[in-house]
Amino acid sequence: MKQAILAYVETVTTEGGPGFVPVESRIAVFDNDGTLWSEQPIVMLMFVAERAKEMAKADPKIAADPAVQALLGGKLGELDGPERERTLMRLLAITATGMPPGEFADSVGRFLAAARHPKLGVPYRQTVYQPMLELLAFLRENGFKTWMCTGGGVDWVRVMSESYYGIPPKQVIGSTGAYEVTLVDGKLAILKKAELTHINDKEGKVAGILAQIGRIPIIAAGNERSGGDIAMLTYAQSSPFPSFQLMVDHDDAEREFAYAEKDGASLEAAQRNGWHVVSIKADWLKVYPGP
């Protein structure tokens, strides 16, 4: 795997070579959950659950929301695919609505500083993947811009993207909610609204890349679990330049987690299209960076 990446990057950075890619087109997009850090559990969901439970106690209207009901009834684990994404995004909207973006970011920051992974017992910051940190740094050294393209809420992920991965807020593409912006008597007020404006999953990831980057990435990395990254990797492969696709297979129950996609669509697409499959068990010497 490492050799394949090194060879590819040499190809696209060799000036005068047949596969040379100008620096403005060296764009790499990474899914977050399950690709850059562990997704058992999905961390944003832990945040949302904690906040929503607090809010449901204080407000019966919030407690009655179907998404909150699913959470309180322990039904979230049963949901899958788009319904899971929608419920999760609805919960995120509930926990952020009516809040200025800065206040929301602060609440995420406080959560991340205090919370511990329920199984591993470490701060979530230590559940990022060491080989991916190395890959991100290596790509940046070679003129790539590294982007995140996640189903998570963009305002949530931007709180940690730069300090955890070196990916600045402007290079984060995620699911979005509307903002209420008002300018009255020269005073500007900004509040997050409950309305979802974009779900950045599956084909939505391609739309998100179109909206924010406006160019086709040449590297795309995702993981198997829900088929959420197939469209994004297919899109990168449509580049006129040489491209590289990477699909993480979670097959290491001992050091990380082992799980498989119900219909196996991601690994099947990888095989059909010649994408590189990363076996955590076989390919990663070290999974987490450690404290």
Residues that bind its own copies (CB under 8 A): 24, 101, 145, 154-155, 158, 168-170, 172, 176, 178-179, 181-183, 186, 188, 190, 197-198, 202-204, 206-207, 210-215, 230-231, 234-235, 238, 269, 272-273
Nearer to its own copies, 131 or 208 (CB): 208
How many angstroms separate the CA atoms of 288 and 66, rounded? 36
Nearer of residues 61 and 272 to its own copies, judged by Cβ = 272
Q: How far is the CB of 110 from its own copies (least distance, A)?
A: 19
- Minimum Å distance from CB 234 to its own copies? 5
3-state secondary structure 222-250: EECCCCCCHHHHHHHHCCCCCCEEEEEEC
Output 51 or 145, the one with its CB closest to its own copies. Answer: 145
CB of 141 to its own copies, least distance (A): 18
| Residue 33 CB, nearest approach to its own copies (Å) | 19
User: Least CB distance from residue 267 to its own copies, whole Å?
Assistant: 14
At closest approach, how far in Å is the CB of 198 from its own copies? 8
CB of 60 to its own copies, least distance (A): 31
Give the nearer residue to its own copies in terms of CB position, either 62 or 93: 93
Q: Which residues have CB under 8 Å from 55's CB, separation 6+?
A: 62, 94, 95
Name the residue nearer to its own copies (CB basis): 5 or 207: 207
Rounded to the nearest whole angstrom, what is the least distance from the CB of residue 71 to its own copies in the complex? 27
Report the residue number, 238 or 279, with the smaller CB distance to its own copies.
238
Q: Inter-axis angle of helices 154-165 and 101-114, to 10 degrees?
A: 50
- CB-nearer residue toward its own copies: 34 or 204: 204
Q: Which is nearer to its own copies, 127 or 225 (CB)?
A: 225
DSSP the chain: -HHHHHHHHHHHH-TTSTT---GGG-EEEE--BTTTB--SS-HHHHHHHHHHHHHHHH-HHHHHSHHHHHHHTT-GGG--HHHHHHHHHHHHHHHHTT--HHHHHHHHHHHHHH---TTT-S-GGGGB-HHHHHHHHHHHHTTPEEEEEEEEEHHHHHHHHHHHHS--GGGEEEEEEEEEEEEETTEEEEEEEEEEEE--STHHHHHHHHHHT-S--SEEEEESSSSTTHHHHHHHHTSSS--EEEEEE-B-TTTS-B---SS-HHHHHHHHHTPEEEEHHHH-S-SS---
How far is residue 279's CA from residue 285's CA, in Å, rounded to a whole number?
Answer: 11
